[in-house]
Amino acid sequence: MTSYPLTEFAAAIEGVELTMDPRRIRVKSRDRYAVSPLLRTMLEGKQADVVVTPKTIEELKRVVSAAVRYRIPITERGGGSANYGQSVPLRGGILLDMSAYAGMVELAPGMARAKAGTLVIDIDKAAREIGWELRVHPTTARIATIAGHIAGGTGGPGSVVYGILRDRGNIAGAQVLTMEEEPRLIELRGPDAQLIHHTYGATGIITEVEMPLAPAWPWIEAIVAFPEYMQAVRFGVTLANEAGINRKVVSVQEWPTPKLIRQFADIVPEGHSICSTMIAKDNWEDFEACVASFGGTIVSSAREGKGPYGGPIWEFVFGHALFQIQKTEPGRSVVEGFFRDADLVGLVQRVHDKVSHYGPMRMEILRVGGQVVGSGSPYFVYESPEQMATMVRLMQEAGAVVSNSHTSNVRAVGKKEITEREIAFKRQVDPYNLLNPGRFEIDDKADEKFAIELPTDKWDRRQA
């Protein structure tokens, strides 16, 4: 392990909260990567040497200046809700805990700006007080910070209408601090804000984020049961396309997934697949008619966060659903399939025919580039990297694109397109490659990857 001049660094930032307590370091050096059996092996033993928690921009600048002077790498961390291991320090050094740098900066109809460590749920609550809400938030909104959401997230509740974070207009702006001995604050607006999206904090330390808002609706959560999985898929795709029905979540889960999620076990009839959704109260009657036309049954309905499953329905969809399932069957895992076709239902059927023997399918319906698409895979019982690779190839043969959700390297994951523009920006803001090294390198050959790689694609391979 590299030895860093930590005594000198600590002296240089005297007055800033710092700890070398082994237990605190161990806790802060982890996120939710344990949902991946491969990441558990890859990241075992990886941790910081020191945890620093700045509370002001002045303290943050002192930390950065000293880190650059002594060439100590920095890995930023928010709420630790990521499941790719993005905030686990690969090469030790400083764990920069941004959770204390929090608070609203500006709030107005259609726009919210907050400091990096502000919880996503707190931004949403503030926006709702003036009749607005975040367009897209992660399923971990109650613990995730806004900078963590931007640096490591892709989409979530709201994506069925507004798309994912990389779609134009979904990040209004951001402020970042450069990794230099005399650090500079840089404001990124519009398309330039994408330079820090999904780069795991390696392209500047995010200090503020500005997000667009949507009009807030009183939401009703619903679980709709169907005797057949493809029946649920057809309903979900239709609902996602119903422009006149305000919807926030459309998640299709094949039986026996409702039995694997213990909170759903007494709600969903035996043998039934489900579509979990959120519908604006004023559109409820039209939603009920849509459900009836597809032969579904509404088995649960409640105001947002008041359902019989003990939390908001958005904590039982996307990657959070696996977190719930692993409480019952810890050996299950997923990959990230991307389903994009003019005949989306037909594509899902082809993939299902190829891989359903691995386990029940999950399918989130969302938008990418304005088009309704699917994202999901079977909940399979992990045996080996080779078994996982075989399943990935079968999904690809059926027409799906599959990213690698079992690595925490930007290129290897495949969700972020790295162009010369991104590389030039990385050089500008992090000239010594001290920000989260091993995650986003100038030279592809320098990236840390698995010994056995999955045969995965860039997630947006078919993007126009």
What global pTM score does this model have?
A: 0.94
Sketch out the chain's domains with CATH numbers. Answer: 104-215 (3.30.465.10), 219-403 (3.40.462.40)
* Predicted local distance difference test score (pLDDT) of residue 440: 82
User: pLDDT tens digits for 371-421?
Assistant: 999 999 999 999 998 999 999 999 999 999 988 777 777 776 767 778 899
Reported as a single tens digit per residue, the pLDDT across 241-283 is 999 999 999 999 999 999 999 999 999 999 999 999 999 999 9
Q: What is the pLDDT of residue 408?
A: 72
Return the HEC string of the chain: CCCCCHHHHHHHCCCCEEECCHHHHHHHCCCCHHHCHHHHHHCCCCCCCEEEECCCHHHHHHHHHHHHHCCCCEEEECCCCCCCCCCCCCCCCEEEECCCCCCEEEEECCEEEEECCCEHHHHHHHHHCCCEEECCCCCCCCCCEHHHHHHHCCCCCCHHHHCCCCCCCCCCEEEEECCCCCCCEEEEEHHHHHHHCCCCCCCCEEEEEEEEEEECCCEEEEEEEECCHHHHHHHHHHHHHCCCCCEEEEEEECCCHHHHCHHHCCCCCCCCEEEEEEEEHHHHHHHHHHHHHCCCEEEEEEECCCCCCCCCHHHHCHHHHHHHHCCCCCCEECCEEEECCCCHHHHHHHHHHHHHHHCCEEEEEEEECCEEEEEEEECEECCCHHHHHHHHHHHHHCCCEEECCCCCCHHHHCCCCCCHHHHHHHHHHCCCCCECCCCCCCCHHHCCCCCCCCCCCCCCCCCC
Q: What is the pLDDT of residue 334?
A: 92
Task: Output the pLDDT for position 464.
Answer: 34
List, run by run, the mean pLDDT of 10-residue segments along the chain (464 residues): 89 98 93 78 90 98 98 94 82 96 98 98 98 97 96 94 96 98 97 94 96 98 98 98 97 97 96 98 98 98 97 95 92 92 97 97 95 96 92 94 78 76 94 91 59 58 40
